[in-house]
Structure formats: C-alpha cells, structure tokens
Amino acid sequence: MRSAKDFFRPLAVGAPEPLREVPFRPSRMIHFFDPGNEKMAAKIPALAPQVDVLLGNLEDAVAADRKEAARAGLVAVARSTDFGGTQLWTRINSLDSPWALDDLVTLVSEIGDRLDVVMVPKVEGAHDIHYVDRLLAQLEARAGLTRPILVHAILETAAGVAGVEEIAAASPRMQGISLGPADLAASRRMKTTRVGGGHPGYLVRQDPPQTPGDTPRLTYQQDLWHYTIARMVDACAAHGILPYYGPFGDIQDVTACEDQFRNAFLLGCVGAWTLHPVQIAIARRVFSPAPQDVAWARQVIEAMGDGTGAVMIDGKMQDDATYKQCQVVVGLADALAARDPELAEAYATADKAARR
C-alpha cells in the first residue's frame, strides 16, 4: 500500500503537484462529439459557450478505422478553438485496446495544456487508475505541463461497481465517476438492449385484491439504475469527487431522459452526458437547482443564524441537517450562477419574490 504521506507527491520527477481538492467547475452537461467528423468538429466553436464540458470521444461510437482520424481531429480542434470557460475533456479508448497508449501519449504531448480531464472507460479497479496515473505523470513531466490532468472513470463493468470505492480513492487525480449503463448492462449480463433508462418489464405489481374481482392490479416501473447510482454517489461523496449520470440513448424520448437525469440529480449527481443538442437544455434545466428551491434554501439559512438549534418556517421544522442541505443547494446555485448569467437572474428574481 502506498503511504498516505506520499499520496500527494508527483508520480514522476518534474510532473505537476497533484491537486488536494477537485476544483468544482460547473459540469452539468458533458457534451460528446466525434472529433474525426469534420462537420461536427466545425460546430465546436459555436457549441462551446452553450455547454459546461465538451468531450472529444475517441472510444465506442468511433469505428475502428476512424480511431486515428478522431485522435488527430481532437488535436486540431483543441489547438484552434477558444473554449472560454468551457472545459475540454476526452474519452480515450479502453486500456486493453490497441489505441489507448497512443491516445494518451499523443493527447498529453500535443494538447496537454488544453485538456482538463481524461475519461477512462471500462475501469475494473484501482489498478487501472494507477496505471493511467503514473503514465500521465511521466507524460506531463516530458511535456513540461504545470497543472495535472484529472481522471474520470466510467462505471461500466461489474468488477468496477464491486470496487467503486477503491476506484474513487485511487488517486488525487480522480475528478469523478459516470454511470455507463450500456456497457454495464452487457458486463452484468442484464437482458436489456438499451443505453440507459428504464424497462417496462422491470416492475413491481400491486397485491391481488382481497376479494376476488376484476380490479386491475397496478404496476409500477422501477429504476434499473437506482442501486448503482446510489452506490456511486456514496463512493464519490466519501472521497470528495463528483458523480454523473452517463448517456441516455433514446434521443427522441426527452421526457424519460429528463426523468432519469432528475433522479440522478436528486440523488447527488452533478451532471450527465449529452449525446445530442436536444439533451443540452434538459441537462441545464435539471442540474441547476430550481430558483424557488434556492430562494427557500436561502431563507432557511438566514433563519438558522449560526446553523444550530431549530426553527419552524411555514410549518416545517428546520435544524442543523436541513441547514446543511440548504447550503449544498445554495453553494451549487452560486457556483452555477457565476458562469450562467441567465440563471443568476432567475435566482435573483425568485429570491426577491420570496422576500415580498
């Protein structure tokens, strides 16, 4: 085991100092694009101000004979685009693929100073993160980088879920973890054929009526991902990193997409992947606390003074624990408002209305 004293030491001579805290930067939507697709790449400058994170995808959905074009395309996009306050991430190919090594070597050497986070797919345990951690340190040292590139793991193997706590704790580079429902379903041998979302067959049925009759028994569709998301959120929160819902593949079903994103938000996730522009507005709406909730939270914080004791507001009991919940909501709202002027205005308006 690595000594706790060494945890924040660079893993290669000349590599930047590891961070002690994951910087909280808005990442409500991690918008995926194929950098080898010239039409898509041309839209990036216009897209950048609309999203919190742009992610150049090199892995699944990029055909084997397009891998090199995607990697070269990402280098070109990163060099030629002014991203403003938008983060640039990439998803490299899986560590057992023929492309992962060149992905890391090329990207860190060529655009390491522009890259905020490397998303690593199909992570099976802390050993995968340790491998990437050391390699990134060597490459950063060689490229003369002054700030460490962070690492994000996709939770999409059964082994990964079984070891999610050790993955979250594996390195000070760990920025966060996303649910990868499509690969996870395959890895677990689930019998679905979808990318995220529910399934009509996964349900609970009401008890039979006490007296025989023809009252139909209601069924309630259940959430296939509840257990995994809750476990991921706990692992992330315990280790000070950020949890995300991953992809929702039914682009047309904006309602179910919004529901899945909202469940994840309420459970503690800070964002989701967006695979199509239509999902960007959904993620912005869902992962920004509602203005009336923020106004309420501010009211509670004010009424609670130093945060101890208990007060009643509108017949609802508030104490230290609700005070802390309200601080989470207000802290997030303030961080998002600093980047999103429209949201800042909505929060100010709701706050004024609540004080009237």
Binding site for ligand GLV (CB under 6 A): 60, 121, 154, 156, 180-183, 195, 246-247
CA 102 to chain centre: 25
247 forms part of the interface with Mg ion (CB under 5 A): no
Footprint of Mg ion on residues 139-168 (CB under 5 A)?
156
Q: What's the closest the beta carbon of residue 353 comes to Mg ion, in angstroms? A: 43
Local structure of 179: helix, strand or coil: strand
Q: Write phi, then psi, for 91 (nearest 5 degrees).
A: -110, 115
Residue number of the CB closest to Mg ion reads 183
181 contact, one of ligand GLV, Mg ion, none, CB 5-8 Å limit per kind: ligand GLV
- Say how far apart CA 105 and CA 118 lie, in whole Å: 12
Q: Which does 110 bind (CB under 5 to 8 A by kind): Mg ion, ligand GLV, none?
A: none
Taking the least distance from each CB to ligand GLV, the nearer of 45 and 249 is: 249
Provide the 10 A C-beta neighbour count for residue 306.
7
Sign of CA dihedral 150, 273, 178, 129: negative
Q: How far is the CB of 80 from ligand GLV (least distance, A)?
A: 27
Q: Pick the closer one to ligand GLV by CB: 96 or 214.
A: 96
From the list ligand GLV, Mg ion, none, which binds 68 (C-beta under 5 to 8 Å, kind-based)?
Answer: none
CB of 66 to ligand GLV, least distance (A): 17
Whole-number Å distance between alpha carbons of 25 and 81 = 20
Look up residue 223 and give its two tokens: 């959430």
Q: Are the CB atoms for 103 and 58 separated by under 8 Å?
A: yes
Region from 76-84, 92-100, 181-189, 280-288 binding Mg ion, contact rule CB under 5 A? 181-189
| DSSP conformation class of 17 | P
Instruction: Please tell me whether residue 180 binds Mg ion under the rule CB under 5 A.
Output: yes
Could you tell me how many residues make up the chain? 356
Positions touching Mg ion (CB under 5 A) are: 156, 180, 183
